[in-house]
Structure 1
């Protein structure tokens, strides 16, 4: 369904664009989101310290990817962060849209909740330490589309080196490879998701809740030689050349407070993670990557 949607003309897709809502519902066109590595000087310094073979490709501007934001799950009745909890946008001509998005999205959230409980137990916290904070969070199913017909050149950066600002990110296998992640030791690894499996990546909110014990995972999406092989195979089979990732960003509820949980509050690093409303944290992060007003300084 998302391949069909992304193949629509740009003027049709822009009807679902909601910049006034920080692009947190509807479509984000290509050329809007700025990769954090392009604007964060501290991150740029860290990158230069990595060995050459582990350095990410440097993007030259905003990401050439489209993304659709679809809110999953119940919304809070009252919230101080209305823009982060807005009504969904449904494109015309896709009668199965709501059922398909809600169906896949709710499965993704269930998988995240199971992992969040296991993580809490593993960290020696109450098993609902994370899931209780996720209740009525602005979870976003955010399928991302990259046009390999137009941008299928090796070395094209679809998503510049960045971390995710949310709690945990989950997605299925894309038809086209290209995702690389960085391990905690700074080593760069190309991701290969086995058939029938889902990938979960840690975001900034879980880093906050664990006082840096579980750091936000850095990653990028770039056209590489394996992507080119997949493009060739798809062309021969007359399949879509849109690279779609079925990403879901799970969030801590906007009005909940992000702060180190349980014994993590006594961590020597806890002071680096002061209490902040999750919605306020998200708004600050969105400003930096050009999705909310002018880019701010964190």
Structure 2
């Protein structure tokens, strides 16, 4: 992993926001997101055991028969709650950007829909009134998992706790009021969104599980996966594998962060593929009799659906206003969902 992504420990900020170390950490976080669109953090409130318990449950969920998982699928809600089956989500067309990537930083060219499952579980308070009810509906609970709500909410709330701390630190590092991003996250449709990729069936080298793409939301956060395969692109076009240290969390900037900062922090491009390291991990897991489902313990934090999405403060000028026009966040999300085939065309 590149030195630019060495972990930032949140302890100093949590203990004393006014300390010099905290101020330095805020600047470092902001600069790292500018340079890489990614960030690795160590949050003392989040343990590896919590991540492991969550992944254990999701492995069991994805190992269920197909007919059981299909009971949790809701295309009428744009798949924004419950399960999304494999070969439904299609990466947005970024062929022009892919064509401009120079060796050795090329992306695998997506070929149709991704062979991954996903489960969406809403985290946090919902708005009492919204124009976007399908983005803020009640949860879907699988019948075979009595512990589901407790485990999902436990992990999701821990992830949101980290997101809120980082959001505050980024604002400070960008010389914005500390509550700038916290305010727009209130009552957002935050989604705990673990993916499930069946490495027992799809394990050939360079198989794409998540084609070259950016995330449409504000900040994405992940616990450490049990199988490698995530690659990111830095702002300068360099491709790098992500290796999250034990006990750490990965954060990626999404399109809403890019929108709010007028491109100061860009949505990061990334892909998940079967790499040589993935193949080696599959062989170890198979020999040990462990699950061959690759689970990502992911949460997508989102700006509130009814918030007007536009560049803020010093990031708003004629150029950024043209590139990032004002629109309701819910409309931005719906348009992105249409582009990746999760919402029907208008």
TM-score bracket, shorter-length normalisation:
over 0.9
Residues 1:206 and 2:261 aligned together: no
2:99 and 2:320 mapped to 1: Cα distance? 24
**1:12 alignment partner, one of 43, 68, 71:** 68
Corresponding pairs, count: 290
Q: Which residue of 2 aligns with 1:69?
A: 120
Residues 1:160 and 2:216 aligned together: no
Q: Which residue of 1 aligns with 2:131?
A: 80
Q: Which residue of 2 aligns with 1:220?
A: 271
Residues 1:128 and 2:184 aligned together: no
Map Cα deviations across residues 40-62 of structure 1 (whole Å, 9 max, x no partner): 3xx31121111132111012110
**1:54 alignment partner, one of 105, 118, 132:** 105
2:265 and 2:203 mapped to 1: Cα distance? 34
**2:194 alignment partner, one of 126, 143, 162:** 143
2:99 and 2:111 mapped to 1: Cα distance? 16
8 A Cα contact 1:211 1:267, kept in partner = no
SS of residue paired to 1:71: strand
Q: Which residue of 1 aligns with 2:82?
A: 26
8 A Cα contact 2:233 2:269, kept in partner = yes
Q: Which residue of 2 aligns with 1:104?
A: 155
2:74 and 2:306 mapped to 1: Cα distance? 22
Shift of 1:269: 2.9
Shift of 1:267: 6.8
Shift of 1:270: 3.4
2:66 and 2:344 mapped to 1: Cα distance? 22
Map Cα deviations across residues 73-122 of structure 1 (whole Å, 9 max, x no partner): 11111100000001100001100000000000000001000000000111
Q: Which residue of 2 aligns with 1:119?
A: 170
Shift of 1:153: 1.0
Q: Which residue of 1 aligns with 2:293?
A: 242
2:288 and 2:112 mapped to 1: Cα distance? 33
8 A Cα contact 1:180 1:188, kept in partner = yes
Alignment TM-score, normalising by the size of structure 1: 0.96
Equivalences for residues 169-184 of structure 1 within 5 A: 169-184=220-235
1:143 and 1:229 mapped to 2: Cα distance? 22
8 A Cα contact 1:143 1:248, kept in partner = yes
Shift of 1:266: 2.9
Q: Which residue of 1 aligns with 2:241?
A: 190
Say which is worse superposed, 54-63 or 276-285, in terms of deviation. Answer: 54-63
**Runs of 5+ consecutive residues of structure 2 not aligned to the other structure:** 1-56
SS of residue paired to 1:269: helix
